[in-house]
Amino acid sequence: MKTFTIDTDNNITAHASREAAANEAGERFSTKEELANAAASWSGAELIEIWNSLPGVQPVRKFTSRKVAVRRIWAAIQGLSPAGGEPSKDEPPRTGATRAHAKAAKVAKVDLSSKTRSGTKTEQVIALLKAPSGATLKQIMAATSWQAHYADARIMPTCVGNPACGAGIAAMESA
């Protein structure tokens, strides 16, 4: 049975058996229940650190509960290969990516252009702004049926106090 150890730096290592994990320092667990017992003494910050250090997972800032954290950590570590590459006797060797890696690869392959709808107001505004002469606020309002205050807020960046908006700073300095 695959056994896991967690060291003082919150690194989880998989081992092919309890005997292989016997020489390792730290807490050992082979079941979800043993992980839950060990996690009972861990802080929420430690659970988050453990989760965020696992390969192929989406980092989190908090868990809704300790039970959720343990369940997610347990599911994520099932794909870890035993240390030293020795295969487990009672489990078939895993080949390819873990479920988390496969999901991340699938998300990366999604073509974002296929998700945009055609004929939206955003698309109309972008087309107007890409024109060689650009577009005026009145032209955008006419094309989208937006009121002036809404069109202005949708198009113009908020420059006051926003360091990412270089145009606003240059305009304020030249005034």
The whole-number pLDDT of residue 156 equals 67
| pLDDT, tens digit (0-9, with 9 covering 90-100), for 54-63 | 888 888 888 8
The whole-number pLDDT of residue 94 equals 40
The whole-number pLDDT of residue 148 equals 85
Q: Is pTM, for the whole model, over 0.85?
A: no
Phi, psi of 12 (to 5 degrees): -100, 130
Weakly modelled stretches of the chain, pLDDT under 70: 83-117, 156-175
CA angle 45, 24, 42 (to 5 degrees): 20
The whole-number pLDDT of residue 113 equals 52
CA distance 26 to 8: 7
Residue among 95, 59, 63 nearest 79 (CA): 95
Q: Is 104 helix (H, G, I), strand (E, B) or coil?
A: helix
The whole-number pLDDT of residue 157 equals 59
**Which neighbouring-strand residues pair with 82?**
14
The whole-number pLDDT of residue 14 equals 85
